[in-house]
């Protein structure tokens, strides 16, 4: 079995197996512990509480370590059962129980991104000092569905695989401010942003950095302020001045890529998604964004 006490005390080791430093781990533990003890609705019990085999993950610290280890390493339930010396069914119950608890804890820490902002006034109320934002889409691989018709909705022509997507909005500090719901891989980034209301609440005076996946957005918002790369003309090379401007835009827009790389420190966001439930995929992305925001809070 994993020596959890040793891992928590070793900064390098803890970061390798959970993606968190000891300071970040300690920062979210009180909120996780409080969320863990909130009453939950249980099915009728067949035995008294505490009956049966004693678990190897007992304390709140061990439970937080377990769920962070799952997110970072994304081990199968069989591997988790072997490492934590329990039945594979028990590890699945722990995952489905502790993930919502971790989401609740991050919500109490006010680090989760907004899921949807309805109006410009709400945007200004939530982010009064923001002068520029960075919008980008991100993909995650999933298992190929069985059957041609079932495969169509998730097939992404961008990377020739079956994927799910999210659109994120970040700021200059690389903090994830807004996260769309998870949607199918065949949907274009611009369409997904439109369907989830990403652009309407952003004030016209806020500079929006985009890539060519959102090429038609400035036409839809003629009063908005945008920074967008210039597209190569058909049959003609891009001018040297245009290439220079694109490089300058890329140097600025790379901040959103830094945010995505921070979110995807967890292998649950980069490995092929084994969980078939759509809500599960969405929760993994939301929690990973919250953990990245915790990292930024601790770094500042």
Taking only Cα atoms into account, the Rg of the chain, rounded to an integer number of angstroms, comes to 22
**207 within 8 A of 132, measured Cβ to Cβ:** yes
Q: Please report, in tens digits, the pLDDT of each residue of the chain (300 residues total).
A: 678 888 888 899 999 999 999 999 999 999 999 998 876 555 676 777 666 666 778 889 999 999 999 999 999 999 999 999 898 999 999 999 999 999 999 999 999 999 999 999 999 999 999 999 999 999 999 998 888 888 888 888 777 889 999 999 999 999 999 999 999 999 999 999 999 999 999 999 999 999 988 988 998 888 899 999 988 888 889 999 999 999 999 999 999 999 999 999 999 999 999 987 778 999 999 999 999 999 999 887
Q: Quote the DSSP letter at residue 45.
A: P
Q: Where are the domains of the chain?
A: 4-44+54-108, 120-299
CATH-assigned architecture of domain 120-299: 2-Layer Sandwich (3.30)
Q: Residues 165, 138: contact at Cβ < 8 Å?
A: yes
- Dist. CA 67–CA 169, nearest whole Å: 26
Q: What's the CA angle centered on 162, arms 161 and 167, to 5 degrees? A: 105
């Amino acid at each position: 079995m994993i020596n959890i006490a040793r891992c928590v005390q070793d900064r390098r080791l803890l970061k390798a197996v959970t993606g968190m430093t000891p300071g970040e781990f300690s920062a979210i533990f009180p909120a996780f512990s409080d969320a863990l003890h909130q009453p939950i609705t249980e099915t009728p019990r067949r035995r008294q509480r505490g009956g049966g085999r004693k678990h190897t993950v007992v304390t709140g610290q061990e439970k937080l370590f377990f769920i962070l280890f799952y997110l970072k390493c994304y081990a199968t339930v069989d591997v988790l059962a072997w490492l934590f010396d329990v039945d594979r069914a028990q590890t699945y119950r722990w995952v489905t129980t502790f993930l919502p608890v971790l989401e609740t804890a991050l919500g109490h820490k006010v680090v989760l991104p907004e899921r949807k902002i309805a109006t410009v006034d709400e945007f200004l109320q939530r982010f009064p000092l923001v002068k520029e934002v960075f919008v980008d889409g991100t993909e995650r691989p999933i298992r190929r569905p069985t059957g041609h018709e079932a495969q169509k909705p998730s097939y992404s022509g961008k990377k020739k695989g079956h994927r799910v997507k999210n659109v994120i909005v970040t700021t200059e500090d690389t903090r994830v401010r807004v996260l769309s719901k998870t949607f199918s891989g065949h949907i274009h980034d611009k369409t997904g942003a439109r369907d989830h209301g990403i652009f309407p609440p952003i004030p016209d005076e806020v500079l929006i950095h985009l890539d060519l996946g959102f090429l038609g957005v400035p036409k839809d918002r003629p009063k908005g302020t945008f920074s967008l790369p210039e597209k190569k003309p058909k049959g003609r090379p891009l001018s040297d001045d245009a290439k220079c401007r694109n490089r300058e835009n890329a140097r600025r827009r790379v901040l959103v890529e830094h945010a995505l790389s921070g979110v995807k420190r967890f292998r649950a966001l980069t490995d092929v998604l084994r969980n078939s439930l759509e809500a599960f995929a969405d929760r993994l992305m939301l929690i990973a964004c919250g953990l990245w925001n915790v990292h930024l809070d601790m770094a500042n």
